[in-house]
Chains A and B, each alone.
Chain A
């Protein structure tokens, strides 16, 4: 027994003869591996290629299959921008850096990096690298040649650009010295010709073109070519000093009227020819607008001036001034009831005037809070449709019997608010240019889904909308009653013309309908 106890003692002492806790071997993590560096070529950009301005490239490497926190774009050794998804569109403004060769790197920061101790330094897992030369040398301008082909096509040719920083050709167009508008962008260096067929509708106008070579996708840096010009057809021009109104259309006789200076001028929409003019005695040469109305068969023209209280009645067949009377209560809105009577609309009262005797035949004071805004006489001359607004109730069309002087309202039909003059043609009522009613039933015929336009004209089951195009250009879109676009064309406004040298243009075409003026729509 004692021997066993002694042996137990000796064994215990032996086990305890050395320190139990000894230094272990290092744990070796064989699953960690270092980040990788790749040479990377951007699509359409070769390593060392010269670039300028802002470059825009798509980054979508195929070997990034892991989740990542972010991708850092590094120029040389400085971070530039980050993004968090793939594929990513990289935008880099090279003008933020010095000219010369730069290293472009994309650092992909993986989630749960497998890079062992390097993780402490937050290394990117993959680095994609290339180099580009930031070059601010302006591109050499191309030489442009412009050729008019039969007034229907304009051919543009230019010399090919050979700069390394080439990004695109930008083709600009200006009509009659208006602002240049970009009409085409061509990204192929070898494409050096185009044919313009768009908006070649401004007869007699100068069409100017230039081609710029841009070095970046934002078109911020470019060199422009010479300006190439050509003239399209021959226009009719009528010189005046002050524009007062128009165009006023007589589509039955293919005539268009304008009020300029102190005269009413008339042109043919068939051939642009000058037809006649009427001198309006007493009308100041500038500074006042006139209000224009036809009688029901358009054989007479009624012009009303609020400023000098004058009414002119002009025979539109022989252009004789038949009458000029003074109307002390002249209003902006007036309606021709027949050859002897007109109605003045002051919005809160209506007056029927005998223009032969220059007497007031009857007056209707509208109830308080009821306005009559615009009106139009039907083609038979028997009814006046007024935009009628008893404000506590809503908007109505008020159909008024105008065969006598009693202001008898025959019916009121709920309607929309009228913010533009009413137009009646072909037994249809056009409200605000976009809603067309049958004048007998007041049922909707069609609604134009056009919301933004400056003014409109309606005739012969068509509506022409005037749109803003640029500072001195407007565009007209002509629609049929089924809302199909028939044609579109430009008109020029007068902002860039010198005072005293304004001109009236007319345009004719298959529709023979509209003229336009330098100041129309202003």
Chain B
């Protein structure tokens, strides 16, 4: 991850020194953009089931275990190729990735009990966006991405009592592929040689097998560089 960050920073710095100067026409180019942001997951059925299971153990067996992390917001990464088909509209295409995890890790004198879960979401989308105005520096826009989505779900549990005298482990893994739709609003800020972009989006993910409702809300910050026409 750090390497990726360094590459992006180097890319920005080099763009700053070598980019063309006709930034007022930045809408008339094609290029690449990299986004990073935070994804807020819904996952309500999964969270409810997780909490209910832990509540059952706590109430039935009087073991004060707590869920430490339950699929919290996490980082997302995406990269798009874009192409302006007019000064106020463009087409984007590219992949996106995000993930989240849940942890319950308990220990007492008798042993340990760990539950770990991870959900990974992969998208490949194509989208269309429209700028509201042709303002030189800040330009609001809206758009819609659509594509395919893949979800990988994993859960591992391990109960270890008396140093392995009682050891019970469990692993489950499910992969599902579906569709995603992502309407979004955002604005760009012209830094003369690169363009920054702030986007808020809600991603609807439709899966066949998994009933985990991985719809999510996203805030993304992107960097765009391109070639002027």
Q: Which residues of A contact B (CB under 8 A)?
A: 2, 5-6, 9-10, 12-14, 16-21, 23-34, 112-121
Contacts and interface: CB of A to CB of B under 8 A. Distances in A.
Contact of A26 (B36, B63, B74, B107): B107
A13 B74 contact: no
Given A16-B37, A17-B2, A27-B105, A116 B63 contact: yes
A5 B108 contact: no
Most buried by B among A29, A31, A121: A29
Given A12-B36, A17-B2, A28-B107, A119 B63 contact: yes
B112 interface: yes
A26 B112 contact: yes
Nearest to B71: A21
Interface string B72-116: 111100000000000000000000000111010111111111101
B110 A27 contact: no
A20 B105 contact: no
B72 A117 contact: no
A24 B113 contact: no
A25 B2 CA distance: 24
B72 A21 contact: yes
Nearest to A111: B62
Interface in B119-142: none
B5 A34 contact: no
A117 B113 contact: yes
B36 A13 contact: yes
Contacts of B8: 13
Interface stretch (B45-53, B173-181, B189-197, B202-210): B189-197
A8 B209 CA distance: 41
A34 B109 contact: yes
What are the 10 closest A-B residue pairs judged by CB atoms, nearest first?
Answer: A116-B108, A119-B61, A32-B108, A26-B105, A29-B108, A17-B5, A26-B107, A117-B110, A24-B68, A21-B101
B9 A10 contact: yes
Contact of A20 (B5, B72, B189): B72
B113 to A, nearest CB: 6
Nearest to B66: A27
A21 B62 contact: no
A34 to B, nearest CB: 6
Given A14-B5, A17-B1, A23-B116, A5 B196 contact: yes
17 contacts: A16-B75, A17-B1, A17-B2, A17-B5, A20-B72, A21-B72, A21-B100, A21-B101, A24-B69, A29-B65, A32-B110, A34-B110, A112-B62, A117-B110, A118-B161, A119-B62, A120-B159
A29 B74 contact: no
Nearest to A112: B62
B63 A120 contact: yes
A465 B213 CA distance: 92
B223 interface: yes
B69 A116 contact: no
B221 interface: yes
B39 to A, nearest CB: 10
Interface in B143-186: 159, 161, 166
Contacts of A120: 57, 61, 63, 159, 161
B192 A2 contact: yes
